[in-house]
């Protein structure tokens, strides 16, 4: 007779038994574990900007930024949700301009408040996303409690971002190249979603590039489509390196980097510019032709994954401390981006 597995039972631990107090324990804990919140929100990464920050007559529990620099406002609450906290969320939105994400976290989201979050997602402009999340702690037998963030209300981001892109593409003043770029990025966003990739495009735009975080500010994985040159590319883009400090440290590892990557890369220090890039290109392709999308999407995701695997740790280890000259002096007369690149 086969031995049956011995399994433990999952039990729910009271939130107050784990975090004791919302403003003094739970909020600081969540601020130090924003990666858990980012995973729940399906956002690449979140950067903490502050806690318990004044906002008119209220205080924002946590203010963070997503990878594109947009604010993410988190309102925490122990127990069941109430109208006061819903009112605070709406008040925060009224004071904002530009894209923002609002997150309401509580032990229990009441049904009428979940419906209110759904209504806000359906009724407000595409720039605002609303989430309602229930927090709990689970334990198996005598194990240490494990936090669980369960999303109970969220925006239909795919429908909203595609709708926004379609409306932009339909505007009379949009150039044909911009419409083609929006079509490509919209298709690529859907491809990334379907591929269960860690990469996400929240809003397909009309630029010839789209950036994805790699774990350090000032560095990004950038995908490009250059229709005039009949090519697409994926690159590590370094935004502000006028003295080429980061570029030189990576260049010193070129042999091992290219061996790990699996092909030779195009190393461009962009002399005289603040930025620089390390790129892989696919030539003689037409990114405006929708029949090429499956091939180009597959190639891009493969290279993006390689760039992340090869460069993520190296980027975090780069030492940007300089002694030879002041960066301010070095960039005094420099443009902020490469010619033809408005990043």
Return the CATH number at 255: 3.30.1460
Residues 102 and 29 in one domain: yes
Enumerate the β-bridge partners of residue 278: 236, 267
pLDDT tens digits, residue range 27-78?
Answer: 999 999 998 898 888 776 788 889 988 777 778 899 998 766 788 999 999 8
| Domain end point (choices 115, 136, 155) | 155
Model confidence band, residue 335 (pLDDT cutoffs 50, 70, 90): very low
Q: How far apart are CA 21 and CA 249, in angstroms?
A: 46
Q: Supply the pLDDT for residue 99.
A: 79
Tell me whether residue 196 is in a domain: no
The count of other CB atoms within 10 Å of the CB of residue 225 is 24
Residues 211 and 142 in one domain: no
Residues 147 and 214 in one domain: no
Tell me whether residue 198 is in a domain: no
Residue 220 has pLDDT above 70, yes or no: yes
Mean pLDDT of 322-341: 42
Residues 26 and 146 in one domain: yes
**Residue at token pair 């220090």:** 269
Percentage of the residues of the chain whose pLDDT score is greater than 70: 86
| Domain end point (choices 125, 155, 185) | 155
Enumerate the β-bridge partners of residue 47: 65
| Domain end point (choices 92, 123, 155) | 155
Residues 144 and 14 in one domain: yes
pLDDT tens digits, residue range 119-172?
Answer: 888 887 667 889 999 999 998 888 888 999 999 998 875 455 555 555 555 555
**pTM > 0.85: yes or no:** no
Q: How many domains does the chain have?
A: 2
Return the CATH number at 105: 3.40.1350.10
- Using DSSP bridges, classify how beta strands 276-283 and 266-268 pair: parallel, antiparallel or unpaired: antiparallel
Tell me whether residue 175 is in a domain: no
Two structure tokens written together for 257? 């980097």
Two structure tokens written together for 274? 């603040």
* Residue 4 DSSP code: P
Tell me whether residue 167 is in a domain: no
State which residues form the domain around 293. Answer: 207-330
Tell me whether residue 132 is in a domain: yes
The closest of 264, 268, 260 to 309, measured between CA atoms, is 260
- Rounded mean pLDDT of the chain? 84
The count of other CB atoms within 10 Å of the CB of residue 95 is 10
Residues 140 and 227 in one domain: no
Tell me whether residue 165 is in a domain: no
Model confidence band, residue 16 (pLDDT cutoffs 50, 70, 90): confident
Residues 234 and 103 in one domain: no
CA dihedral 167, 169, 170, 173 (to 10 degrees): 120
Residues 19 and 143 in one domain: yes
Q: Distance between alpha carbon 299 and the CA centroid of its chain, in Å?
A: 21
């Amino acid at each position: 007779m086969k031995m049956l597995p011995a399994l433990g039972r999952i039990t729910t631990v009271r939130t107050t038994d784990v975090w004791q107090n919302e403003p003094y324990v739970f909020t600081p804990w969540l601020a130090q574990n924003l990666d858990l919140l980012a995973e729940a929100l399906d956002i690449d990464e979140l950067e903490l900007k502050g806690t318990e920050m004044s906002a008119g007559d209220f205080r924002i529990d946590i203010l963070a930024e997503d990878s594109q620099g947009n604010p993410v406002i988190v309102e925490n609450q122990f127990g069941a949700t109430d109208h006061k906290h819903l009112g605070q969320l709406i008040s925060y939105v009224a004071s904002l301009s530009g894209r923002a994400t609002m997150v309401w976290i509580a032990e229990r989201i009441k049904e009428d408040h979940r419906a209110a979050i759904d209504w806000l997602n359906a009724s407000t402009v595409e720039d605002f996303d609303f989430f309602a999340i229930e927090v709990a702690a689970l334990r198996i037998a005598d194990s240490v409690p494990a936090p669980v963030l369960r999303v109970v209300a969220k925006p239909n981001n795919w429908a909203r971002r595609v709708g926004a892109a379609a409306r932009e593409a339909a505007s009379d003043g949009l150039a044909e190249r911009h419409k083609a770029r929006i079509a490509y990025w919209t298709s690529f966003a859907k491809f990334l979603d379907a591929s269960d990739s860690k990469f996400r495009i929240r809003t397909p735009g009309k630029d010839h590039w789209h950036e994805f975080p790699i774990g350090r500010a000032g560095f990004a994985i950038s995908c490009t489509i250059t229709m005039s040159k009949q090519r697409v590319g994926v690159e590590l883009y370094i935004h502000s390196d006028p003295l080429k400090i980061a570029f030189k440290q990576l260049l010193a590892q070129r042999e091992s980097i290219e061996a790990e990557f699996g092909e030779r890369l195009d190393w461009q220090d962009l002399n005289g510019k603040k930025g620089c890039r390390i790129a892989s290109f696919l030539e003689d392709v037409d990114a405006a032709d929708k029949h090429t999308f499956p091939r180009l999407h597959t190639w891009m995701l493969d290279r993006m994954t390689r760039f992340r695997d090869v460069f993520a740790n190296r980027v975090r280890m780069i030492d940007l401390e300089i002694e030879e000259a002041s960066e301010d002096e070095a960039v005094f007369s420099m443009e902020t981006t490469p010619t033809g690149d408005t990043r």
